[in-house]
Every structure is written in structure tokens, then in C-alpha cells.
Amino acid sequence: MVRSLFNRLCLGVAAWLCGCVVQPTTPPPPAVIVVCMDTLRADRLGPYGGSGRTPNLDHFATQSVVFTQAFAQATETLFSHAVMFSSRYVSELGPMDYRFVAPKDTPVLPEVLSMYGVNTAAFVSGGHMSEAFGLDRGFGRYTVVKDWGSLFHTAPAALGWLAEQPKDQAMFLYVHGYDAHDRYLKPTPFGFSVADKKHRGPGERAALGRSATTRIMDGLLYNRRQFDQVFDISGFRPRSVSKIKDMAVEGRALGAIPFSAADEEHIRGLYDGAVSYGDAWFGLLMSGLSAEGWLDRAWVVVLSDHGEELGENGVFSHRMGMGPQLLSVPLLVRPPGGTVGRTVDQTVGLIDLMPTLLELFGATLPAISRGRSLLDVWSSPKGAIEDKVVFAEGAMGQITAMNNAKGLTFGGLPWSSPQLTELLGTARLDGPAFEAWEGTDEDEAQTLRSALYRWRKETPLFTGEAGELDEERIRILQMGGYWGQR
């Protein structure tokens, strides 16, 4: 089955490229390489309006299918990957906190592929990708190269593994790096390639500490407080007007440091330098794949699990909001041998990754999956596939519906609240429960509200027992600045 589908796919791609009759051949078994560039905003890449600081990714896009309207289903690494690997929503799988473990009765991507004889491996940068959080389930080999590390660490390790793989066996490889994740300041020459090295002030201080930028809120740097002391993470509407005012008053009383527009621009420049840093190591990975012949054989998928707010809504983080800066993600698919770069404007989600990859391998999609394969989306004439609304969930209980770069977020109640669906259907769109993305008019918001109502009403919630926040998880979180510095 694997060889049969892959034969048809390769023939179809070749015919698409040259428009000629293709003689049947016997290609090697399918191979897929997925590269996740953690925390990478879509608008930093050329096809999404970037400013030319990602030459390797931009070149890759010229050989790929570029999904311009791809959205994440969560804004943190752990939860977004749980969705990608299961094609189910977080609220179906477990609590959206660090006790989360995907239920063992939910089939995951590497597990299904292994059943079809696919050799699977992942080389990841720890943190939320560590074995302690359960994302390793199903992989034949799962290596944490360095906690909170970079493609600098994982790409060479992945290339080393590939060099040992037989060419007559189906293969799936996952490579992950936190290059654009805080801390944004990266080694020379990338660290100050955009930001002013001579800048002095709170922006300089915030650039040096692990997770320091997450303690910036509404023009104040809470330098003496940790993230969970700055934000009311137990609440469901932490960014209410009254809460912001209370925090501002408290912050000044506690000696929080005013953060200027120049400081914010400095931090954004450092982020752009970090993106260039990740792009350089992505280029190294692609060079290695090319040298060993993998680009002629393998499908290569590049994506990010979520974006980052860079001063929008007064924060530098990805844990609190649900706007396009966080949920709009790059998604690029390069077939074996590449293609003439093209764009697909249909709305898609990372929840579609598992169905797409399973079809590439000729594997059957589990019946409980929520996503769809994207093969028909990019191969059909424009407009032939019906566009759809995709959904996302946030750690503060928010839920968001997105379509055609428009979005609507509902917040204020936990998912389990019996009043949630009623309020979704009856609350005023201009009231405090809803927040529309910029450019979303009233008619579009009403359409998204109706979709959000149906989706939340029809999607079952997790009712099992949560995992435990054990010492190993706490250690990993502390290392990343999530629970205070060690």
C-alpha cells in the first residue's frame, strides 16, 4: 500500500512539473522530514511578507507549496505538538497545563507509522519536547539533543542518523529547534544583526536573562518578578482593563522599570536576529540533505508550532493571547525533487499535519482524528476545495475561530462551564467576552461565532485523570524560565 500510493504521488508531481507523459518507474519507499522552527512568526518569512532576513527559508519556499493561511491550534509547544501528533484538540486530550499527557488510547502519528513499517525518529531540543511530557510515544528513536536548544544542536544529529538509514525502507524524521524562542539574543553575527548593539536601558537588561522578556507588560519590565508573579495565570481574563491598571500600580510600587518604545524596538530586533540564526542552521540542514541525496527522495515539511507577540497587546510572549501574531504559522511542503513554488490560500490548520503525512505513507487515518489531508487541497484547481474554519485553544480558557485571515476569540469561562455554549450563542459580539481580530467585520464575526458555537458544542471534552507535575517536569520548566530561575 505504501509503495502504491507513493508511486502515484511521484508520478503526479512529475506530470504537474513537466506536463508530459511519465513512464512508470519504481521509486524508493516514501520518506518524510518535518522541521519545526519553534516560535517562528509567519510574517518573518519572505512568502508571508518578511524582509529578506531568512534567505534559506525563502529559497526553500521557491521549491515548495506555501500555505498562506495556516493556523496553529494552540500557542505553546507542548499543546501544539500534541495536536499535530494526534490530529485532535487539546481539550479532548487533557488539561491545558503542565500536567498534560496525551491519553494512551489516542493513536499518535509515529505510532501509526510504525504499524506500517516506517522507521521513525525525532531529534528535538527538549523543554516541552522532553520525554517527561510524553511526546516521544511511538517514535522508534527519540533523542533530546539539548534542553531548550537550537537546530544548531539537532540538525547535525539528525543528519548523522540519516546517514545510517537504509534507502530501501520508509522513513519519517522530525527535527525541532527553539531558535526563535526566548532568550532572543543569539551568538555573533546574528545577535545584533538587526538590533543596535549600543542600545542601553531596560531593553538591554531584558535581552540578557532567560525568559526576561516574558516579564514585560504594558510598558513595564517586572525585573524582580517571575512570569507567574506578573500574570494572573489562575484567571481566565488576565488582560481585563481593571487588571492591567492594577498591575501598573502594583508594578510601580514594586519598582518595575518603565519600558520605552526604543526598548521594545531593541527586543524586536533581537528576535529578528534569532530568526536569522535559525535560518542559518536550517540552511545547514538542507545542505546536508542535498549532499546525501535526500532532497531528491524525501518530502520536506517546514512549519512552526506557534508564533510570538512582539509588543502587540503590551507583551513579548506566546502564552497569553490568541491573535494572528501567535496563531498564524508558516507551513511549507516541498515534494521530492522540489516544485515550482506556489501558494495555497485555503485556510488550514496544524491539526491537518497527521492526516496529510499518513496519506503520503498510504496509512489509514484513525477515525477519531479531526483534521483532513492537504494533498487534495494543493493539487486541486484553486477554489475547488471548500474553505473551512479552524479552531484554537488557549491556556487561559480562550477559544478562537479563524478563516481567511479573520478571527474571533471567546474568553472568560473555563471549557467545562455549563454556561459556555449558551454564552457563545447569546453574548453580545461587542461585549467583553468576544474579541475580533483586526479587519474582521461584524458579518464575518457572526459567521465565526456560529462556527465556534457548533464546534465547542460538538467537540467532547477530556474527562480522564491528569498526569502529575513531577520533579523532572518542574526541573525542565525552571530551566526554561517558566517557574522561576534555578
**What is the C-alpha to C-alpha distance for residues 280 and 435, in angstroms, rounded to an integer?**
37
Q: 438: domain range? A: 390-458
- Does residue 371 sit in the same domain as residue 349? yes
Cβ neighbours around 187 below 10 Å, total: 10
On the question of pLDDT at 14 being above 50, the answer is no
**What is the C-alpha to C-alpha distance for residues 57 and 37, in angstroms, rounded to an integer?**
11
Q: ω before 183 within 30° of 0 (cis)?
A: yes
**What is the C-alpha to C-alpha distance for residues 187 and 151, in angstroms, rounded to an integer?**
14
- Does residue 289 sit in the same domain as residue 351? yes
**What is the C-alpha to C-alpha distance for residues 299 and 8, in angstroms, rounded to an integer?**
14
Secondary structure element (H or E) that encloses residue 35, with its range: strand 31-37
**What is the C-alpha to C-alpha distance for residues 298 and 357, in angstroms, rounded to an integer?**
12
101: pLDDT confidence band, cut at 50, 70 and 90? confident
**What is the C-alpha to C-alpha distance for residues 256 and 306, in angstroms, rounded to an integer?**
29
Domain boundary among the residues 353, 379, 405 is at 379
Within-domain flag for 219: no
Within-domain flag for 222: no
pLDDT at 248: 61
- Does residue 313 sit in the same domain as residue 432? no
pLDDT digits (tens, 9 = 90+) for 318-358: 888 899 999 999 999 999 999 988 999 999 999 999 999 99
- Does residue 366 sit in the same domain as residue 402? no
- Does residue 146 sit in the same domain as residue 40? yes
- Does residue 360 sit in the same domain as residue 419? no
Within-domain flag for 244: no
Predicted TM-score (pTM) of this structure:
0.90
CA atoms within 13 A on the CB side of 70: 31
Please check whether residue 85 is in contact with residue 103, taking contact to mean a CB–CB distance below 8 angstroms.
no
pLDDT at 86: 97
- Does residue 121 sit in the same domain as residue 64? yes
- Does residue 20 sit in the same domain as residue 153? yes
Which one has a higher pLDDT value, 25 or 465?
Answer: 465
Number of domains in the chain: 2
On the question of pLDDT at 482 being above 50, the answer is yes
pLDDT digits (tens, 9 = 90+) for 223-262: 776 666 666 555 444 455 555 556 666 666 667 888 899 9
C-alpha cell at 271: 528576535
**What is the C-alpha to C-alpha distance for residues 404 and 425, in angstroms, rounded to an integer?**
22
On the question of pLDDT at 18 being above 50, the answer is no
Which one has a higher pLDDT value, 203 or 160?
Answer: 160
**CATH code, 332:** 3.40.720.10
C-alpha cell at 221: 519590565
3-state DSSP assignment of residue 58: helix
On the question of pLDDT at 13 being above 80, the answer is no
DSSP at 261: H
pLDDT digits (tens, 9 = 90+) for 34-85: 999 999 999 999 999 998 899 999 999 999 999 999 999 999 999 999 999 9
Measured CA to CA in angstroms, residue 393 lies from 75, 278, 326, 463 at distances of 8, 27, 12, 17
Secondary structure element (H or E) that encloses residue 69, with its range: strand 65-71
Within-domain flag for 57: yes
Query: What's the CA angle centered on 298, arms 338 and 155, to 5 degrees?
Result: 105
- Does residue 374 sit in the same domain as residue 418? no
Domain boundary among the residues 379, 400, 427 is at 379
- Residues of the chain with pLDDT > 70, as a percent, come to 87
> What are phi and psi for residue 173, nearest 5 degrees?
-125, 135
Lowest-confidence region among 381-385, 440-444, 471-475 = 381-385
pLDDT at 354: 98
pLDDT at 236: 41
- Does residue 359 sit in the same domain as residue 442? no
Domain boundary among the residues 347, 379, 411 is at 379
Determine the residue type at 223.
N
97: left (phi over 0), alpha (psi -120 to 50) or beta: beta
Please check whether residue 116 is in contact with residue 363, taking contact to mean a CB–CB distance below 8 angstroms.
yes
- Does residue 401 sit in the same domain as residue 432? yes
- Does residue 71 sit in the same domain as residue 133? yes
Within-domain flag for 56: yes
On the question of pLDDT at 403 being above 50, the answer is yes
C-alpha cell at 385: 476545495
Please check whether residue 114 is in contact with residue 138, taking contact to mean a CB–CB distance below 8 angstroms.
yes
DSSP at 253: H
Within-domain flag for 137: yes
Sheet holding 171-177, edge to edge: 141-144, 119-124, 171-177, 31-37, 299-303, 331-334, 65-71, 342-349
pLDDT digits (tens, 9 = 90+) for 113-162: 999 999 999 999 999 999 999 999 999 999 999 999 999 999 999 999 99
Q: What's the mean per-residue pLDDT of the chain?
A: 88
Within-domain flag for 223: no
Within-domain flag for 160: yes
